[in-house]
A and B are shown apart, each in its own frame.
Chain A
């Protein structure tokens, strides 16, 4: 509060939401008649609140609700798995088509084999995590037991 603003500024929010006592509401209303700054604050906050209230959100369909829930770890493992397999595929194509007569460095060969294995393992882990999450979030699980 100050000489220029003789009301608690948080009361502006209470004024917008209509939660002030009659006395406080009148004090704010009287102040707003003379204070351009607070009047603008109230109007801008009110406009933003109205925009927020009218915002429509996408809801989920029955099919989306029944999709298996995926944890972030599962999504990460799935993305990493596909990325590794894609890299392996590109490297294999390059070796076969561009460098058919070159001897492959044994280290590179090992990296490629282990990269492909790691890719498959990541995809397998992602699927296993999804199965676990599905089982865990089955609302009928307690009844099935």
Chain B
């Protein structure tokens, strides 16, 4: 028996494509703006959080980048994908903030902050003992990541946390694709050294896995 399904009251959150939403938002459709903002605020926030390590700074940066997107909407090519553009401006904004943070620290001689482990940004709920071990490793790798130089940190974030391809990373960083692999290798080596200092058993685990 066929059932009558009531039609949704407004436009679906996920159905319309970006170009359609951008065109509608340009003509003053507030709903389209809201859908765009909801769609892209989380990717922008997560990238900012992973680059900066500070939830409040990350939220402010994500909001700032979305604002820039909406202010440029009239000139934005509706057929152009939003996410690569957004990643670039989030990354550039994060670099500016890190530079300013360095100047402030130099002025105040304050060494505490997001580089430490006090700011909790990971969702570390663990249901089992295995989960607890995984969470401990995740926390450790994250803490070591905060100790890398900004250039090393950003490339590890883009590849290993954001799971971007080498081409996408080259686009975000504005470097040739060939540079990505060598830079990533140096960054991963630096991270590996720091992680092994904290959890030497990772080396044993890797050796056991390699021998399988």
Residues of A at the B interface (CB closer than 8 Å) are 9-14, 17, 19, 39-49, 51-60, 64-65, 67, 69-72, 75, 133, 136-137, 139-140, 142-143
Contact = CB atoms under 8 A, between A and B. Distances in A.
Given A48-B191, A143-B30, A57 B160 contact: no
Contact of B188 (A13, A39, A72, A75): A13
A47 B161 contact: no
> Which of B104, B192, B203 has its CB near the most chain A CB atoms (within 10 A)?
B192
Nearest to B203: A44
A94 B84 CA distance: 59
Main secondary structure of the interface of B (DSSP, over half): helix
A58 B121 contact: yes
Contacts of B76: none
Given A47-B209, A139-B37, A52 B185 contact: no
B195 A48 contact: yes
Contact of B141 (A11, A55, A58, A70): A55
B90 interface: no
Nearest to B210: A43
Interface of B: 28, 30, 33, 37, 41-42, 45-46, 49-50, 55-57, 59-60, 63-64, 66-67, 70-71, 104, 120-124, 134, 137-138, 141-142, 145, 156, 159-161, 163, 166, 181-182, 184-185, 188-189, 191-192, 195-196, 202-203, 205-207, 209-210
B45 A59 contact: yes
B181 A53 contact: no
> Which of A58, A65, A139, A140 has its CB near the most chain B CB atoms (within 10 A)?
A139
B59 A12 contact: no
A45 B141 CA distance: 11
A40 B161 contact: no
A44 B30 contact: no
